[in-house]
Structure 1
Amino acid sequence: MNTTVKRNAIDWSSPDILNHLFLHIKTPLDSIITASAPSAAGSEIKNEIILSSSKEINDIIEEILNEIKSKSVSLTIQSRPDIFDIYESNKNVQDLCSKKINPEKVTKKDQNWLINLEKEIYNSISKNDLDLVDLSYKMAVSERQLHRKIASLVYLTPNKYIRILRLHKAKQLIDNYDQDSISQVSYSVGYNDSHYFSKLFSNQYDISPKELINSLL
């Protein structure tokens, strides 16, 4: 009789998992550092080499742990698709959707699918022509399935959905002072025409990028 063993999937993006992993590396490493402290003249050189290497590894782990702690909040927030927050806070985005989005009716599996889709879009967001065929391939669905899935979950076409995310990312760049010129922001989110970008941005946020930048100075 064949026995199937089920294994739980590990979310490697979770700060708790990463923190747990590196702490398990760090604990025995601390023991190595302590044990390698020079004690006898004959082993002093060898121990110094081990001690030096171990401390370098320890410093790297410390940096990683600090980075995990600093990003733990944003990683936790990403358990919910950005489109939900954008939709709930923006009347203009709501008007673009053919139906009302109800996040509570979207399964966790579909929410994770949307999160992965958003990650793929963000990874290629600076491209002027974001290829839907390529995006479909990365999501392991056909282009038709991509259209249907987005339409059924957020009631948007893929192009409108991508545009909303582009402009959302543009607003984040301005709000976080990552870019301070319209052309820089425009290029960063895949628009080569800054005037066209400004028009789309104004339509989504009821304020032009220039006005928003000036309001933050």
Structure 2
Amino acid sequence: MNQMSAAAIINWESEAVLSQIADKIHHPLKEIIRLSRYIHTYTEQRDAETNRLSAIVLESSAQLETIVANIVKAEKQKQIEIVVRDKFQFPHLYQWSAASEESSPLDEIFTKSDTSRIPKAELSWLLRLERTVLEHLESSILSISWLAQEMMVSERQLFRKIEKYTGLTPNNYIRKVRLWNARRLLEDYTYTNVCEVASRVGIRDPYYFSKLFAKEFGKMPSQYMQAS
């Protein structure tokens, strides 16, 4: 089967490995769709084309299975990194979102550097950073010095690592997490009072919170709550 053997020519060392995988998957599926439409249009060719379609479906299924197996094998051999971004509560806070198709309110702060490959240790560190900040939003202990100790780095290292992946200072990163978490609480209608939302994300002054929120999202939290 020519289609099955095609999966074997993926260059797993290439930086464009994911594009190659997508290309291998796209072409057989595109052919299946084309043949399906053809069969419905030209009924006199139905038997012959149905047989051909069945063969393509079977070959493509085997090809996709081979591709998936090779992906898992390559990942285990550390040839490529598979990043699961939906573990982050707020993925738009990180620079790799700049390369995605989905727009973000933070696009203006992103650099255009290639962040498509992130070492697993760094990814794990960033996940722990976000989780640590979220878990202590209401606590008075949340500070740069405390966070550096929790993340087991110096304050200087903390600054460098956060800036590298977000383009933000640690203080601005914490502030962004507070505001994005506040927006999520408003979207979920968890609280019906802006003061409660502000307190929940660790900002004691409701007026200051509303000012920050409006600057970040373009309208007051009370207006956002009504729209939600």
Alpha carbons 1:90, 1:205 under 8 Å: kept: no
The corresponding residue for 1:124 is: 136
> Match for residue 185 of structure 1?
197
Match in the other structure for 1:53: none
Distance 2:140 2:189 in 1: 22
In the alignment, structure 1 residue 85 sits paired with structure 2 residue 98: no
Which of the numbers 133, 136, 158 marks the counterpart of 1:146? Answer: 158
Moved over 6 A (4+): none
Task: Tell me the distance in 1 between the aligned counterparts of 2:134 and 2:113.
Answer: 22
Does the C-alpha gap of structure 1 residues 139 and 188 become closer, same or farther in structure 2, counting only changes over 3 Å?
same
More RCO (CA 8 Å, sep 6+): 1
- 1:135 alignment counterpart: 147
5+ unaligned residues in a row in structure 1: which ranges?
1-75
1:209 matched residue in structure 2: 221
Q: Distance in 2 between matches of 1:149 and 1:78?
A: 21
Cα distance change on mapping 1:154 and 1:102 into 2, 3 Å: farther
TM-score (norm 1): 0.57
Q: Give the secondary-structure state (helix, strand or coil) at the position aligned to 1:125.
A: coil
Q: Distance in 2 between matches of 1:207 and 1:102?
A: 33
Residue 172 of structure 1 and its aligned partner are, at CA, apart by 0.8
Provide the aligned C-alpha RMSD in A.
2.2
Alignment of 1:1-217 (within 5 A): 78-79=86-87, 81-86=88-93, 88=97, 89-91=103-105, 93-97=106-110, 99-100=111-112, 103-127=115-139, 130-216=142-228
| Cα drift, residue 170 of structure 1 | 0.3
Counterpart residue type for residue 94 of structure 1 = D
SS at match of 1:198: helix
Counterpart position of 2:40: none
* Counterpart residue number, 1:57: none
CA distances 1:52-103 after superposition (whole Å, capped 9, x unpaired):
xxxxxxxxxxxxxxxxxxxxxxxx8653x34433564433x23345x24755
AA aligned opposite 1:85: H
Contact kept? 1:170, 1:189, Cα under 8 Å: yes
CA spacing shift, 1:101–1:124, aligned 2, 3 Å: farther
| Distance of 2:114 and 2:191 partners within structure 1 | 33
Alignment partners' CA distance in 1, 2:200 and 2:125: 25
Please, what TM-score do these two structures have when normalized by structure 2? 0.55
Structure 1 contact 186–192 (Cα < 8 Å) conserved? yes
Q: Is the 8 A contact 2:93 2:166 kept in 1?
A: no
